[in-house]
Amino acid sequence: MTGSCASSGPDVVTAPKAGLLATAARPLRRRYGRPPRRPPTEPPAGARDVMLVGARGETIRGWLLADSSRPSGAPGPAALVMHGWGASAADMLPVAQTLLDSGLRVLLLDAGGHGRSDDVEFSSMPAFADDVQVGLDWLRGQSEVDPTRVVLVGHSVGAGACLLVASRDSAVAAVICLASMAHPRDFMSKALRAHLPAPLVSTALRFVERAIGHRFDSFAPINTIGRIRVPVLLLHGARDHTIPVADAHALHRNAPPGSSLLVIDDADHTTVEALDQVLPALRKFLREAAGATGGTYAPT
């Protein structure tokens, strides 16, 4: 994100602009391009350790969880769960438990640069999506998983990544989005205004797009959700001050038929355990989308 570039129109980078952007580039890249790392977490009891090769050759780590009280039997439904920015698979354990109790096997992934996965210099929503796709391909190959009944579940940036994967993979059974943004350009514009003078924000956004390697419009959830042909369940906290609940309403307007929006009154951006507050609706969604059976085991 350093250096200068020239383009037509209002985004021409003059020498003074280039100097200011170069000064701002390092903290911006550190804060918005390279995720913070936290110490790895011990695996939950009974987890199967998973090691996959990512799209850029890095090691992607995960845990495969199953309810040991349920018979293995025929291949059944499963969920792939992707955390948000700066988080890890461990942060999504409350979500995993709810899904396990609802009759699914669960693959919890650490995105590149997060949790136990290899470090990365730069990450983004498309990079998260690459990791989701790698995990999805692996999960579909497991003998205990029905490849036509895999649900993608994501939080925040991870939710946007799941929508991006589902928009180009027609075999995904359904998507559950926790606190997804509508458009990364809007989110980044707000963040950049805290570091740059207003006239430089549009130019900085172009720098960010070049660092990511994609235009924001190409992976914006508000656009990808409109290309999905399976149901999407949108969950958003009414107290979310990171991504406003208005984003969820905007996504719902573009969502495919059969989709639903649930706003959870006392949840904020990180309250992933709030799934339990909407358990009847969640289980109905999973039953209809993936043939999941919650509560007492019953073969499907």
Mean pLDDT of the chain: 86
Q: Provide the CA 248 distance to its chain's centre, in angstroms.
A: 14
The amino acid at 103: G
Q: Per-residue pLDDT tens for 147-196? A: 999 999 999 999 999 999 999 999 999 999 999 999 999 998 988 888 78
What is the residue extent of each domain of the chain?
49-183+220-290
Calculate the alpha carbon distances from 53 to 48, 103, 208, 291, 299 in Å.
17, 28, 26, 30, 33
Angle at 193 between CA 188 and CA 199, to 5 degrees: 110
Q: Read off the pLDDT band of 39 (50, 70, 90).
A: low
234 touches 246 (CB < 8 A): no
Q: Choose the weakest-confidence range: 64-68, 86-90, 252-256.
A: 64-68
The two structure tokens encoding residue 14: 């003059």
Q: Provide the CA 201 distance to its chain's centre, in angstroms.
A: 25
Query: Which of 237, 233, 275, 235 shows the shortest CA–CA distance to 256?
Result: 233
More confident residue, 22 or 124: 124
Q: Provide the CA 7 distance to its chain's centre, in angstroms.
A: 32
Residues 6+ apart with CB under 8 A from 186: none
Percent of the chain predicted with pLDDT > 70: 83
The CATH code belonging to domain 49-183+220-290 is 3.40.50.1820
**Strands (DSSP E) along 196-289, which ranges?**
232-237, 260-264
166 touches 152 (CB < 8 A): yes
H/E stretch holding 150 reads strand 145-155
Query: Which of 9, 16, 32, 14 shows the shortest CA–CA distance to 193?
Result: 32
